[in-house]
Amino acid sequence: AMVFLLLLSAVGIGVTDWQPEWGFNYWLSMAPIFGVTCLATGWSAARSQGQSPSRVIVSQVLHWLGLAAALWIMFLFSMETGRINNADMGLVSLVLLALATFLVGVHVDWRFCIVGVVLGCTALLVAVVEQFLWLGLVPVFIGLGVYGYWRLRR
């Protein structure tokens, strides 16, 4: 699941750079996809620890609705007011997604911290080396390699 989330995020950078008006819908659709993945992980962890799954549901739904609201506000800044460049919205969206994912890692499962850090590093690398967009995928592939190695060792 973690690898899938990283790949979806890498695709999102390309989509938003290529077709900024599609970027809003793409990143907005990532909130429920990431949310369902985190919810499933949190639900499983809560059940194994004897905690109430309903608390996990409420906190994860609010967490990812918060991300969706933040993405919507940022796209309003971009599309409606022009205060943020359309081309930069992919990076802004990725940073918001990285933060939301990292925070799930802090509260639910530490592996999401790794995904959040990889997403944040990807955004940073793409911002620094924008003309070489595909170099932004290097942290994603490194993260995939570390995760795969970790899974094989288990």
Token readout for 59 is 């906190």
* Contact in structure between 123 and 91 (CB atoms under 8 Å): yes
pLDDT class of 17 with cuts at 50, 70, 90: low
Span 117-152, pLDDT tens digits: 988 887 787 777 666 656 666 777 788 888 888 888
CA 83 and chain centroid, separation: 23
* Contact in structure between 140 and 10 (CB atoms under 8 Å): yes
Specify the amino acid at residue 38: C
CA 98 and chain centroid, separation: 5
Q: Does the pLDDT at position 109 exceed 90?
A: no
Q: Does the pLDDT at position 13 exceed 80?
A: no
pTM of structure = 0.74
* Contact in structure between 11 and 51 (CB atoms under 8 Å): no
Span 21-76, pLDDT tens digits: 676 678 778 888 988 988 888 888 888 888 888 888 888 889 999 998 998 898 88
Our CA angle for 93, 124, 106, nearest 5°, is 70
